[in-house]
Amino acid sequence: MLLCKLSLRRWGVKPVEQLRLHASDLNHLWPELILVIAAIVLSVLDLALPSKRSRTFVGWLTLVSLIVSGVFVCLQLNLEAPVELLLGSYRVDDFASLLKLVFLLGTAFVVLMSIGSVKKTDIPNVGEYYYFLLPATLGAMVMASSADMITLYVGLELLSITSYIMVAMRKNSFRSNEGAFKYLVMGGISSAMILYGMSFLYGISGSTNLAAVKTGILTNFTSFEALIYVAFFFLIAGFGFKIAAAPFHTWAPDVYQGAPTPITAFLAVVSKGAAFAILFRIVYNLFLLLPQDGPTGALVSDVFLTLGVVAAIAMIVGNVVALRQTSAKRLLAYSGIANAGYLLVPLATQFSTAHYSNFSEFIYYLIAYLFMNIGALAIVTLVEKSSGSDEISGFAGLYYRAPYTAVAMTLLILSLAGIPITGGFFGKLFILLGTMETHNYWLAAIMLATSVVSFYYYFGIVRQMYMRSDYESAPMQVPGTIGFTAWLCVIVSVALGIFPNVLLQYIESVFTITKDLLFVS
């Protein structure tokens, strides 16, 4: 036993007794524990309850568990100091808490819109559909709190594996099966790339803790410069897939179109946001504070330039290819690729004394994107059920069949396009101003140009709703949960446009970059 402990210390591995969680530590893990307990309880209830009753009952209980978890996350906001568990591999800080609230809110809206739209004829086991969202959200929350590459990878795979299953739940749909297969294969490749990049960082530093990895990069840079570049490019390729940023985006249109529409919303918001959370952790902690006047200066410059180039490619490819789409879900998939580029811009515009609100700009736009994207997909769900397809032509005459729904979709499209006064407009504006402050004028120009291009395909849907009448169709029946989801998203999107500073100032009052994001070994 003594030899074993000495060997563990020799390789930098902590003894098992030091890695155990204590009872006091569990108080900080209630948001995650609630989701674990709820997933187990709901899986048993789904087996015990009659199938007809379990469809909606399990859905409502899933929604309640997400709300309760969110309440416990709110209680963890404004901590005086970050709480580090498992020797610093898991952090409870305001960076993680703000993102966890976004993930829980997004999943709650996905569940709410599902209760009115998911049927047994489409998904054979509706109960599984609901409680699989809980471990997926748990994986995203673990990623937000990860300060260690092992913890990060566990959360990533928990989110990924459950997402593969949820995409394939429409067992009788060829598109769903095809999309799930592509997602599984390409997701496995991207996870392997991430793991491969992490292995290089572990080899360079001798540790999986991000703070220790940064120290290892700084100490061993001259000896392993090439390997550090290789590790970074593997990581950016792997996470580029997870956020669906071009040129790593090819899976997204088929998966978004084949998956159940609420799951499309989950992938577009929660899964994307979780990957961004860990990108912030890795990029800021490994590269941001490296000395720029020494040998590491070129590395820092290349890292942020690469992120800017990926953001530019995503904005250009997403908006240009969306011009030719006839499917509403594929159009929103390419819109999501473009928005991945917009969300990458705050990360690519390097933090400095002149501009330090990168995270605030990012999370403001992520929240705005959550509401406008989920609201739009809720209405796409409605049109898809009515017309039997997700083609944009299914929106023809929507104003005459469901006028209030058409007005809601119009307002959501205005926000997606970035028209004043909406949350989407101010989200893009804050990012654009930050880009200008850091003198990344080329990135700001691409952002402006691609936003103008997006007007064409977004307003193509508006043209269908108001200028393409479909008098042969009967008035559309709108389920209460879908209507409520869509209009709540509209109200929040408009409110974010009328009172943008309320949310932004709250984020900046809660989040501190030195306390909540950066850490030392």
Out of 131-140, 230-239, 397-406, least confident range: 397-406
442 pLDDT band, cuts 50/70/90, is very high
**Residue 206 per-residue DSSP state:** S
β strands within 179-299, DSSP E: none
Find the mean pLDDT for residues 274-282: 92
Give 77-115 as a DSSP string.
TT-SS-EEETTTTEEE-HHHHHHHHHHHHHHHHHHHHHH
What average pLDDT does range 301-320 have in this prediction? 93
Separation of alpha carbons 450 and 312, rounded Å? 9
Mean pLDDT of 71-98: 87
**Which of the residue ranges 115-119, 356-360, 466-470, 472-476 would you say has the lowest mean pLDDT?**
472-476
Residues 240/248, Cβ–Cβ less than 8 Å: yes
Q: Give Cα separations from 199 to 12, 205, 274 (angstroms).
A: 15, 10, 21
Does residue 481 contact residue 116 with C-beta atoms inside 8 Å? Answer: yes
Beta-bridge partner residues of 209: 148
Q: Alpha helix (H) ranges present in 351-422?
A: 358-387, 398-401, 403-417
Under 8 Å between Cβ of 201 and 230: no
Contact 107, 270 (CB under 8 A): yes
Q: Are 194 and 157 in contact (CB under 8 A)?
A: no
Q: Picking from 1-10, 245-254, 389-398, 457-466, which range would have the lowest pLDDT averaged per residue?
A: 1-10
Residue with tokens 């406008």: 372
Question: Which carries the bigger pLDDT value, residue 322 or residue 355?
Answer: 322
Q: Could you check whether the bond before residue 82 is cis, i.e. omega within 30 degrees of 0?
A: no
By three-state DSSP, how is residue 83 classified? strand
Which residue type occupies 423? G
d(CA 399, CA 409): 10
pLDDT at 22 > cutoff 50: yes
Query: In the chain, what are the helix, strand and coil shares in percent, each to the nearest 5?
Result: 75, 0, 20
Look at residue 6 and tell me whether its pLDDT is greater than 50: no
Q: What is the pLDDT of residue 153?
A: 92
What is the arithmetic mean of pLDDT over 403-411?
Answer: 91
Map out the domains of the chain as residue ranges.
28-516
How is residue 96 written in tokens? Answer: 């993680």
pLDDT of 74 higher than 90: yes
pTM, rounded to two decimals? 0.91
pLDDT score for 124: 75
pLDDT at 3: 33
Looking at residues 202-207, what average pLDDT do you find? 90
pLDDT digits (tens, 9 = 90+) for 27-63: 888 999 999 999 999 988 888 777 666 677 888 999 9
State mean pLDDT over 182-192. 91
Average pLDDT of the chain is: 86
8 Å CB contact between 412 and 460: no
* pLDDT bracket for residue 89 (50, 70, 90): confident
Start-to-end C-alpha separation, the chain: 28
Structure tokens at 75: 């209680």
pLDDT band of 16, cuts 50, 70, 90: very low
Task: Provide the 8-state DSSP code for 87.
Answer: T
For the residues of 445-474, what is the DSSP string, one character each? HHHHHHHHHHHHHHHHHHHHHHHS--TTSP
Residue 375 vs residues 18, 379, 381, 450: alpha-carbon distances, Å = 46, 7, 10, 23
Which pLDDT band holds residue 161 (cuts at 50, 70, 90)?
very high
Q: Could you tell me which of 122, 114, 179, 174 has the C-alpha nearest to residue 382?
A: 114
**Mean pLDDT, residues 111-116 taken together:** 87
pLDDT mean over 155-168: 92
The residue-averaged pLDDT of 230-239 equals 93
Q: How far apart are CA 335 and CA 265, in angstroms?
A: 12
180: amino acid identity, one letter: A
The half-sphere exposure of 269 on its side-chain side, counting CA atoms within 13 A, is: 33
SS3 467: helix
- Nearest by Cα to 190 from 257, 253, 236: 236
Predicted local confidence at residue 78, as pLDDT: 84
Query: Cα(50)–Cα(481) distance, rounded to whole angstroms?
Result: 22
Q: Which residues pair with 187 in a beta bridge?
A: none
Asked whether residue 308 carries a pLDDT value surpassing 90, the answer given is yes
